[in-house]
Copies of this chain bind each other. A is one copy, B any other.
Amino acid sequence: MSAIRHALTTKREDDFAQWYQEVVSAADMAEESGVRGCMVIKPWGYGIWERMQRLLDARIKAAGVQNAYFPLFIPLGNFEREAAHVEGFAKEMAVVTHHRLIADGKGGLIPDPEAKLEEPLVVRPTSETIIGDAMSRWVQSWRDLPLLLNQWANVVRWEMRTRMFLRTSEFLWQEGHTAHENREDALKETMRALEMYRAFAEEDLSVPVIAGEKPENERFPGAVSTFSIEAMMQDGKALQAGTSHYLGTSFAEAASIRFQDREGGQQLAHTTSWGVSTRLIGAMIMTHGDDDGLRVPPALAPWQIVILPMLRDNDGDAALLDYCESLRGAIAAQQVFGEPIRVLLDSKPGKAAAKRWDWVRKGAPVIIEVGPRDMEAGKVSLLRRDQLWGSDGKPAFQGPSRDDTAQSIGAVLAEIQQVLFAQAAERRDANIVRGVSSFDELAAFFAEDKRYPGWVEVQWSRPTGAELDNVVERIKALKLTFRNVPLDAAPADGECLFTGAPAVERIYVARAY
């Protein structure tokens, strides 16, 4: 087997963090903007986000949730109402204090001291309080419930250390906010959103996840319970890929969301919120990327198929372009995942080989090259991104006929979608460790210098308050975090790894993003 010359300079096993940055850059996903903590999402990265939006939005609408839009600015006072919420968010927000600039007399501009706001405005870090205000106006009677809202928006949480897609001061997300008559309905909605996220991650992103409840110390500020989907990255770390919160009545109380119940009494609504963000793009990169760049699951790829004509700048180019355009049309007339196939004929100037590697790094699922000899034989040269290298260390081109390609390409895309999921699920399952039964064993496991430390499923007594704080401190010293209590875990049957008390459930411990 020959040595493969990979398309990236950094390999995952050599420096995963550096590799991640290289993929983001080499796949043309995003870059630093020059504005502290904010990134520019470039067309290929944003195109993937648009696909995520479209697919998740269809799931959201299918559940009867309606999109709406609420203000970017939240009056400072809103944050003073819900104590636990303030505690969790107060530290890191962008604050608008002036509404005008004036010349400083030295050729520059300054905030106009005459235009200072009486009450500062906070750029939304999340919208529970402002949407709660609207709900208090819209909900009068039990007949107005459930009220199921969602917003696609930008939010800001000031961050000192940022990382493209994973942690930026401004990011894009959706936030669902719902109000219900009682605890049972609200919890049902919390779990519906969680299951929606699981299906979205696994079916559309090909990212296997574990759905479960976060421990008390990881709850959303002010929530009664927080659930998450957790994904394992290729360095064995966990990434929280989506959350769903049951908020009880505390936000309803702060915003006064009250309704006349079926018996004529006044009740506080039970609310939920749930969200996923552009962080999912980071999860996708670290799940599917390889040493040649990104591999985009076909359901998310802005272009699922890229056709590259091998132009020679001669008289034969016109016929070759016709052949490629006819192929493009035939493929675009096919469907996969219930949508027309997205196929690009890339006839921009540039050498075909250079363009091929650009698209490999960007992770287009299928690249089809067509040269004069392919055309004469009625064939194409087809490269699957998930089967990039042959055993000879060269790109593994296949040579199907043009007609076969047009007919079967949808099935190929569907297969790639499955392959990416299966590869990730296999890796994830191989790196979950069970049966660790003492804290020392846990510490020893993570002390080993392994490429994939993976996750450890432990049994615990679900400590709360100060007892939990103590446990969290102990694992924090090992740079570990609690991820979640999986919904489908086996029942506990031993003692708590941390307290020695009888265990009541199983929880994942892992390093995390």
Encode A46-73 as 1/0 by CB contact (under 8 A) with B: 1101100000000000000011111111
The answer to whether A90 and B109 have CB atoms under 8 Å apart is yes
The answer to whether B99 and A95 have CB atoms under 8 Å apart is yes
Flag whether A512 is at the interface (Cβ < 8 A): no
Encode A8-44 as 1/0 by CB contact (under 8 A) with B: 0000000000000000000000010111001111110
The answer to whether A130 and B94 have CB atoms under 8 Å apart is no
Q: Name the residue of chain B whose CB is nearest to the CB of A159.
A: B99
Which B residues lie within 8 Å of A72 (CB)?
A: 38, 123, 154, 156, 170
Flag whether A316 is at the interface (Cβ < 8 A): no
Flag whether A310 is at the interface (Cβ < 8 A): no
Most buried by B among A40, A91, A130: A40
The answer to whether A67 and B47 have CB atoms under 8 Å apart is yes
Q: Name the residue of chain B whose CB is nearest to the CB of A74.
A: B35
User: Which of A100-108, A257-265, A284-292, A479-487 contacts the other chain?
Assistant: A100-108
Q: Name the residue of chain B whose CB is nearest to the CB of A66.
A: B43
Encode A420-438 as 1/0 by CB contact (under 8 A) with B: 0000000000000000000
Flag whether A111 is at the interface (Cβ < 8 A): yes
Q: Name the residue of chain B whose CB is nearest to the CB of A172.
A: B69
The answer to whether B97 and A76 have CB atoms under 8 Å apart is no
The answer to whether B121 and A94 have CB atoms under 8 Å apart is yes
Flag whether A323 is at the interface (Cβ < 8 A): no
Q: A interface, how many residues as a size bin?
A: 35 or more
The answer to whether B99 and A97 have CB atoms under 8 Å apart is no
A332 vs chain B, min Cβ distance (A)? 13
The answer to whether B158 and A100 have CB atoms under 8 Å apart is yes
Which B residues lie within 8 Å of A143 (CB)?
A: 349
**Once bound together, how far apart are the Cα atoms of A111 and B158, in whole Å?**
13
The answer to whether B101 and A71 have CB atoms under 8 Å apart is no
**With A69-B46, A99-B95, A170-B71 in contact, is A109–B86 under 8 Å at CB?**
yes
Supply 23 A–B pairs (Cβ within 8 Å), ascending by A. A31-B137, A33-B70, A33-B130, A40-B69, A41-B70, A42-B68, A43-B68, A69-B172, A71-B170, A72-B123, A72-B154, A72-B170, A73-B94, A77-B108, A80-B107, A80-B108, A90-B100, A94-B96, A94-B99, A95-B96, A95-B98, A97-B98, A143-B349
Interface residues, chain A, with chain B CB atoms under 8 Å away: 31, 33-35, 38-43, 46-47, 49-50, 66-77, 79-80, 86, 90-103, 107-111, 120-123, 130, 133-134, 137, 143, 149, 153-154, 156, 158, 170, 172, 349
| Apart from A43-B67, A49-B69: 6 A-B pairs, beta carbons within 8 A | A33-B70, A86-B109, A91-B100, A93-B100, A94-B99, A95-B100
